[in-house]
Structure 1
Amino acid sequence: MSTQRSYYEPAPATHDTATAALAAGDIDTLTDSMVGLALHDADWRWCQDFYLRVLDHPEEDVRATAAICLGHLARIHHQLDTDKVLPALHARLRDPKVGGTVEDAIADIEQFLALPPGAMRG
């Protein structure tokens, strides 16, 4: 018997919700609000900088979600500050818990921003 995850899209979130969840250590609310922001918030730069802040979070789920959300921003907004984002992601490729997720996020960013693969190694 195989287990199958159903698709879940978090509702739109606010900057205050994400910031408060981070401060409170509420990982479930934090990761839900991170995805909600990536999918629905128009301020891609605020979101990008928030995700960069939590790329070193002690919780694996937060680090992985931050990388995934950076890929979402590239897909939805077709812009990121690649001079900041790609070096930060490349520096986390060796994280044994989220390295594969980071690699996928880099590929998404390269694809959605039409960058040559490996164009910006950090």
Structure 2
Amino acid sequence: MDDDMRNVFALTTALESYQVEVIFAENGKDGIAVLQGNPDIDLVIMDIMMSEMDGFETIRVIRQLPEFQSVPIIALTAKAMKNDRKECIEAGASEYISKPVNLDRLFSIIRVWLYR
């Protein structure tokens, strides 16, 4: 879930090059609806800075849904402040990565969470 189409395009292109099926939502509210309509989703990449419903709030709502309590959520943020990782994990994210995204690191994190 990300509201910056440049980021969405770049990440989608990179993920699809590894035969990952990507389902996009522009904001947290839409993302929750997408998740509920696709209960077989294996992993969520969540932008923290979104309009309407930020990533922290969205992650908290997702974690309250029984069917998504254990789905891995990788939080992304551009602001890269000192406590970002702690805040993301406390909100319910499985892992955190700052922007600009290092794709090798992202794919490593994805592999770790998908093969647990």
* TM-score for both structures, normalised by structure 1: 0.38
> Which structure shows the bigger proportion of residues in strand conformation?
2
Larger Rg: 1
> Which structure shows the bigger proportion of residues in helix conformation?
1
* TM-score for both structures, normalised by structure 2: 0.39
